[in-house]
Structure 1
């Protein structure tokens, strides 16, 4: 398999948690991977290119896509995994909170996805997966999260809109909507409370989300899907 035949995945928020799990999973699938986050370090693997940068800055998106094309020649999959979650009562959100959350969750998604879609159209197809949150569909009084709903809810709607816009041009667009997953983002002492938010009574694991993304990757007839991996949260309480 020549380097031009190898499929290429771009993954944001790739240094830890779900993102790091996705880098490993796509490498196992035989993909070259371009991994980006603010703190990502170089790795000794010719099939993985790390690009440090703040995804809220459109210049990072330009650098990531340029690096992917220069090193691997194509982009087959983009996983918009980077996300910030700030749970506060609505009136407590500051201008800084708003700028930070919209910067990563919306601005970062927007420019990177535009550039990736441009490349996918030139190649004749591709796949985009957005990572959202089940709070979008099922608000919970115990977790005030308007900024998550505003931004990740926008991402969920954009998933369907993009899927339909590009349905005849070989680009599929899907989302995975997690419940709370056991990652470094959540302090150990919060796990009991967070587990209780799920009807199944426990947290999800990184592998649950990674497996869902891999399913979507290998599902050519699935587009515009919001795949809930949330221990039943989206079904009710």
Structure 2
């Protein structure tokens, strides 16, 4: 992955920031994105303001943001080799309380953001006749939890899982790989935003009896980015969350 160009959305905190750090440390060229410019700038500075990284603030639900990220990657680093669609929102809400604006928020940011940014990246990858797209889903698509009502965000993530397989089918002949990483409970600012004060209290959901760390998602993203023979897959990085439960 040395000198390969990687676009990472939602790169200002949590998983996205860890993914950016992982690729930067391994001499990839990284384009960091987030909707919050102040947070994004701070993340870039936290990583040491590396010369092999740049950042661009913008809302991925706007088609122009994806196009701008691809254009910036081309102008600065001459290629678009990998796109990590990490940006997204997620919070629990009982099914009967969900309003139309809730659905619109999740579908606009989670699904449309992934869709539009992938459109922009694939347009360039087709010219290069190669590329890798890595989407971030959730194990909850395939392993629902009754005590965690989150139909609105999970349906948007489920659509991303389906999008992954269809894009892999459509663009495999062009040597463009498309995969999903489905994280379990990962220690990140997201838990606090959902009102979970102690992420470790959820360790029992995983057979390994611990929560995951953001760098473990970064490791999986790097593996998929560098692999030449994996496409259309959903990789659960979840400590056994989808396999079974300890009692």
Is 2:167 aligned against 1:162?
yes
Contact preservation (8 Å) 2:179, 2:233: yes
Which contiguous aligned blocks of 4+ residues in structure 1 show a shift greater than 6 angstroms? none
Per-residue deviation, 1:96: 2.6
Distance in 2 between residues matched to 1:21 and 1:166, nearest whole Å: 28
Structure 1 window deviating more from structure 2 (183-192 vs 142-151): it is: 183-192
Structure with more of its chain in helix, by fraction: 2
Question: Which whole-Å deviations, capped at 9, do the CAs of 1:175-226 have from their partners, x for residues lacking one?
Answer: 1110010001113624244223323322111121111111212221111111
Partner of 1:19: 16
How high is the TM-score relative to the length of structure 1? 0.93
Equivalent of residue 215 in structure 1, options 179, 201, 223: 223
- TM-score in terms of structure 2 length: 0.89
Q: Aligned to 2:55, which of 43, 47, 50?
A: 50
**Following TM superposition, by how much is the alpha carbon of 1:118 offset from its aligned partner in structure 2, in angstroms?**
0.6
- 2:118 aligned partner: 113
Secondary structure, aligned partner of 2:179: strand
Distance in 2 between residues matched to 1:53 and 1:197, nearest whole Å: 35
Distance 2:99 2:72 in 1: 35
Q: After superposition, what is the alpha-carbon deviation per residue over 1:76-118, rounded to whole angstroms, capped at 9, x for unaligned?
A: 0000011111211111122332222111111111111001001
Q: Note the 1:163-178 alignment, pairs <5 A.
A: 163-178=168-183
- In structure 1, the gaps of 5 or more residues are none
Whether the 8 Å CA contact 2:66–2:121 is kept in 1: the answer is no
| RMSD of aligned residue pairs (Cα, Å) | 1.6
